[in-house]
Structure 1
C-alpha cells in the first residue's frame, strides 16, 4: 500500500470530516465547562484530562461508528459500486486504504482534543507522569475500532439507512448497559465499554490491568471490523467474529480481578512537596506542587495566629484524606486549597477548626467557621460568609456567646475545639454549646 494511495483516499474519503466532527464535539465538551467554571473536572492533572476524554466517548464512540458506516456507503451513494466491483483487484486491496484512513482521522480528532486541553493542564500542574498515556491510547484505539466496525457492518448491510442505524446502535451500546446494571455499579462487563463511568481526581489513576484488558478488547474489535469490511464473500463474514470473540474472552479474564473499580490511588500524586527555606514547613501534595509558593505566606500567617494555643502546630500540610493528625501539624484539605484564592481566604481555610481536619460525616461547619474568625480576629472569616437566614442567625448567636466570655475562657474553648478536631470529636460540645 503506497503513500500515494493513502493520500488519494485522504482527499476523497469522509475521514477528515469525521475526525473534525470528533474534535469539535470534544472541544465543546472541554470548554463549555469553562462557561460554568467547571474546568476543574479535567484541567487539574494529566490523568484527569485523559479520563475526562474517556467519559466523552459516550458521545464520540457512536459518532465514530456512524462515520465508519457513512464511509462504507460512499461507492453506493455515488452509484459506482458495481463499476468498482468489476475491477480485477481483490476486495481487500480496494477497501483497506479507505478504512485505515477513516480510522486514522478519528484517532487524529481524538488527539486534537487532548492537545486542546494540554495547555490548561500544563499551566496548572507540575506533576508529570506517564500513567495517563495508556488511558489516552486506549481511548484512541476504541475510536479506531468503532470506525472500522461501522465500516464492516455497513459493507455487510448496504443501505442508505445503515449509517443512521449504526449511530443509534452505538448510543445504545454505550448507554444501555450502564442503565441496566447501574451507572455507579462495576463489573468486568462494564469495563468493556469505551467510556469511563467513574470521575477521576488528581489522586487517582486507572489500573494498568484495566488499560491492558481494554486494549486487547478494542484491538480485537478493530481486527474484526476490518475483516468484516474486507471479506470477499458474505458467507464467510462469520470468520470476522473470531478475533472479537477471542479478544472478549482474554479481556474478561484480564479485567475480572479489577472489576470492583478501575481506579486506584496514585501514591506519587499524594506525596508531599515541602518548603526548605529555614522557615516553618509548608507542604502540599505533588499534584499541587505548582501552588506551593502561593500557600507559603498565608500558611505561615495561620501558624502565627495558632501560636496563641497551647501545643500550637508548627507546620502546615495539605492532606488528601482524613486520618490520624499529629498535634504538631495544621491540616488543609485538598478541596479547600486553590492557588488562585485570596490569601486571606486561604489563611481562614487553614484556621477552620483551629487547623484540624474536616472529618467524614462532620456537620461542624458553624464551629469551624467561628474558630477561624476568632483566630483571625475577623468575623465572619473570609470564605465563610453565609447568606441571611437561619444558619447565619445561629452562627451570629454562637459568635456573640463566645465573645461574651472572659478572654481566658475563650482561649480554652478554642483549644478544646482543636483537641476535639484532631481526633474527629464533637466540636459543638468543645465550643460549649448545642
Structure 2
C-alpha cells in the first residue's frame, strides 16, 4: 500500500518538478566551468558540493511548497479526522521528494562525469563519499522545508526560506572565515556544519574522512528532525522531534577539526603519486593529472633538450611539482629539488580535461623552471620573475617577450640584462647561468636578481 502511494506521489506531486528544477539549475552551473573539474573525480565531487549553495535552498523551498499542499487544497480537517496516524500520510510524500532530489543530484554528478571519464587517471573513493554526504544534505533540506511549509502554510514561506538559506550558506560562512583570517585565528569548526564546500581544494587534496563522518553524524539527525516535525502532532511531539538535531550537533561539532574549510582538505598520497613516460627524457606528472601526460611530454622534452645544449649540469628529467597551490594555507614543507630534475607546474586544464596550451606559455614556463625552487610560502620578489624571463630567453637565443604583469620600466631593465648576458663570452654566460641555477636550488635568489640592473625610481 505504501509503495503504491509512493508511486502516485512520484507521478503526480510537485516532487518531480522540484527535482527537475534542481537538475537544470545545478547542471547549468556545473557545466559553466568544466575546467574546474574536467579529468578529476575529486574536483567533480567538490564542485557538486559547491552547487549545494543553490540546490539546498531549492530543496528547502520545494519542500515548503509541497508541505503546504494539504492547507492549499483545504483538506487539513478532513485528513485530521481519519484514524490513520499523520506520519503514515506524510511518509510517502516525504519519500517521493527525497528520492527525486537525490536522483537529480546524482544525475548532475553523472552528467559532469562525461567531462571526467575520458582523461581521468585516478578514481578516489572519497569522491563517492563526498557526493553521498551532499545527497544526504538535500534530504535534510527537503524534509525541513516540508515541516516548515506545514507549520507556516503561507505563499511567502517557500521564497523566504530560499533567501534565508542562501544567506546562511553563502554570506555567513564567508563572514566567519574572513573574520577569523583577519584576527589570525583558525576558522570555527562549526563552519563544517554546512554541507556546502566553498573552501579551495587543490587537485592533490581530498576531503578528509573525519569531516565526511562528522557531517554525516549531523546531517542524518537533521533529516530525522525534519521528518519527525513533519509528522508531529502536539507540542510534546514537536519538542521531541527537535531532539535528534540537537544531539547530532552536540556530537558532531566537538569532533570536527578546528580550522573550518581549511582543515577539511588534506593531501591525498595516491593522487600525488607520479605517472611517468620513459620513452626518452623521463617526464612525470601526478596521478591526479595523468590525462595531461600526452600533452606535456612534447614541450617538456623540448625544454630539456634546449637546456642540455647550453646549460652546464642541465636537468635530465622533468617532474610535475607536488606542492599545493599558493592559496592553500595548510601546505606541507617544501621538497628540495634535485639537480638532475626540472620541477614544473602543470599547465592549465581545458574543458575536455586535456592540457590547455593555446596561449603558448607552457614552454617558456618550463624553461624558467630551471631557475626555480619551491622555498616555502614567502612570495618571491618580482625581480626574480623578471630574471627568470631573461634566463629562459638565453636558452632560446631570442629576446625576452613582455608579459601582461610587467610594469613601466621592466621592458628596459629586462632588455639591458639580456643584452649584457649575451654580450659576454659563451663560457662566461654558461658559468653565470649555472651558478644562478645552483643558487636557486639552494633557495637563494640573490644570484638571479643580480642579473637585472637596479630599478630606476
Same fold (TM over 0.5): yes
Q: Which residue of 123, 126, 135 maps to 2:130?
A: 135
Match of 2:329 in 1: none
Structure 1 residue 257 displacement after superposition: 6.0
Q: Following superposition of structure 1 onto structure 2, how do residues 300-379 of structure 1 map, counting pairs within 5 Å?
A: 300-307=301-308, 308-321=310-323, 322-334=334-346, 339-341=355-357, 345-354=361-370, 356-357=372-373, 359=375, 360-362=378-380, 363=382, 364-379=384-399
Q: Following superposition of structure 1 onto structure 2, how do residues 1-400 of structure 1 map, counting pairs within 5 Å?
A: 1-33=1-33, 39-183=34-178, 186-256=187-257, 261-277=263-279, 279-307=280-308, 308-321=310-323, 322-334=334-346, 339-341=355-357, 345-354=361-370, 356-357=372-373, 359=375, 360-362=378-380, 363=382, 364-380=384-400, 389-400=408-419
Match of 1:36 in 2: none
Match of 2:422 in 1: 403
**Contact 2:63 2:144 (C-alpha < 8 Å) held by counterparts:** yes
Larger CA deviation: 302-311 vs 344-353: 344-353
Q: Which runs of 5+ in 1 are unaligned?
A: 34-38
Structure 1 residue 280 displacement after superposition: 2.4
**Contact 1:203 1:266 (C-alpha < 8 Å) held by counterparts:** yes
Structure 1 residue 329 displacement after superposition: 0.9
Q: Quick one: distance in 1 between partners of 2:406 and 2:311?
A: 31
**Contact 1:413 1:430 (C-alpha < 8 Å) held by counterparts:** no
**Contact 2:19 2:100 (C-alpha < 8 Å) held by counterparts:** yes
**Contact 1:330 1:355 (C-alpha < 8 Å) held by counterparts:** no
Structure 1 residue 388 displacement after superposition: 9.0
Q: Quick one: distance in 2 between partners of 1:305 and 1:430?
A: 24
TM superposition score normalised by structure 2: 0.86
Q: Which runs of 5+ in 2 are unaligned?
A: 324-333
Cα pair distance change 1:398/1:284, threshold 3 Å: same
Larger CA deviation: 329-338 vs 80-89: 329-338
Q: Quick one: distance in 2 between partners of 1:64 and 1:385?
A: 44
**Contact 1:69 1:153 (C-alpha < 8 Å) held by counterparts:** yes
Structure 1 residue 44 displacement after superposition: 4.6
Q: Quick one: distance in 1 between partners of 2:407 and 2:254?
A: 57
**1:303-333 CA deviation, whole Å, 9 max, x = no partner?**
2211132222111111122531111111112
TM superposition score normalised by structure 1: 0.90
| Shift >6 Å, 4+ stretches | 385-388
**Contact 1:416 1:430 (C-alpha < 8 Å) held by counterparts:** no
Larger CA deviation: 207-216 vs 348-357: 348-357
**Contact 2:272 2:288 (C-alpha < 8 Å) held by counterparts:** yes
Q: Quick one: distance in 2 between partners of 1:66 and 1:232?
A: 22
**Contact 2:70 2:76 (C-alpha < 8 Å) held by counterparts:** yes
**Contact 1:331 1:355 (C-alpha < 8 Å) held by counterparts:** no
**Contact 1:298 1:343 (C-alpha < 8 Å) held by counterparts:** no
